[in-house]
Amino acid sequence: MSSNEIVVPGEELAVIEEFSPSLGAYSDEKGFVRSSLVGMVLKDLINKIVKVNPVTTRYSFPSVKDIVIGYVSFLKGEIAMVNIVKDGNFKPLTGQLAGFLHISQIGTEGRHINEYIAPGDLIRARVISSENPFQLSIKHSSLGVILASCSQCGAILKKEGDKLICPKCGNIEKRKIASGYINLKWSY
Ligand SMILES: [Zn+2]
């Protein structure tokens, strides 16, 4: 076990002849030095001591009304499942966070969710429930699809007016586009 590795309680760090246990470590009756917590190993080679710095897990779960960024993973019936990956400022969230978007939270008259959103779309959404999986809403004009790719050729779609146009094959697609759609500047 070397420095900077993440260990779990009970994991062997060294033998007592090599290193003495310090904070976050202990020696067992067989002479093994083990970790007493989840943390990062720090070996002091000069003083021959080993310690484990606790990993501080600050789970940043979104709260109701927070804005989040996520990828649409799949559509099923009236629901789009979303992998929430960032908060509204594009800072990563910790943990596996799932979201779902019901067609009633899109804010349009459509009957089929695939008229407004597609798997692979990057969306900006508002969290409207407090448990994982989080219910999402894209009703506001600032919310919705912020990046989408062409279903025909896979190129990133460009926003022109209220449409998304494929710069590569000319395909036109419909989405519930957020006002902050990310128009990438590249050409084919
Ligand atoms: Zn295309």
Q: Are residues 80 and 166 in the same domain?
A: yes
Q: Are residues 116 and 28 in the same domain?
A: no
Number of domains comprising the chain: 2
How far is Cα of residue 136 from the mean position of the Cα atoms in its chain?
A: 15
How remote is the CA of residue 18 from the centroid of ligand 1, in Å?
62
- Measured between its terminal Cα atoms, the distance across the chain in Å is 50
Q: Are residues 13 and 36 in the same domain?
A: yes
In a domain, 143, yes or no: yes
Q: Are residues 71 and 49 in the same domain?
A: no
Pairing of strands 20-21, 49-54: parallel
Q: Are residues 114 and 158 in the same domain?
A: yes
Q: Is 2 exposed, middle or buried (0-12, 13-18, 19+ CB in 10 A)?
A: exposed
- Cα–Cα distance for residue pair 181/184, rounded to 1 Å: 9
In a domain, 131, yes or no: yes
CATH number of the domain that 165 lies in? 2.40.50.140
How remote is the CA of residue 186 from the centroid of ligand 1, in Å?
14
How remote is the CA of residue 164 from the centroid of ligand 1, in Å?
10
How remote is the CA of residue 174 from the centroid of ligand 1, in Å?
13
Q: Are residues 159 and 92 in the same domain?
A: yes
pTM over 0.85: no
How remote is the CA of residue 175 from the centroid of ligand 1, in Å?
15
Tens-digit pLDDT profile for residues 90-146 = 777 776 789 999 999 998 777 899 999 999 999 999 999 998 899 999 999 999 999
In a domain, 106, yes or no: yes
Tens-digit pLDDT profile for residues 34-84 = 999 888 899 999 999 999 988 765 556 788 999 999 999 999 999 999 999
Q: Are residues 89 and 26 in the same domain?
A: no
How remote is the CA of residue 187 from the centroid of ligand 1, in Å?
12
Q: Are residues 44 and 129 in the same domain?
A: no
**Which domain does 33 fall in, by range?**
6-54
150 is in an annotated binding site: yes
Bin 170: left if φ > 0, else alpha if -120 < ψ < 50, else beta: left
Q: What pLDDT sits at residue 38?
A: 82
**What Rg, from alpha-carbon coordinates, does the chain have?**
24
CATH number of the domain that 30 lies in? 2.40.50.100
Four-CA torsion 137, 140, 142, 148, nearest 10 degrees: 50
How remote is the CA of residue 168 from the centroid of ligand 1, in Å?
5
Q: Which residue has the tokens 């089929």?
A: 112
Q: For residue 112, give the DSSP letter.
A: -
How remote is the CA of residue 53 from the centroid of ligand 1, in Å?
50
In a domain, 62, yes or no: no
109 is in an annotated binding site: no
Contact of 13 with 50, CB cutoff 8 Å: yes
Q: Are residues 39 and 71 in the same domain?
A: no
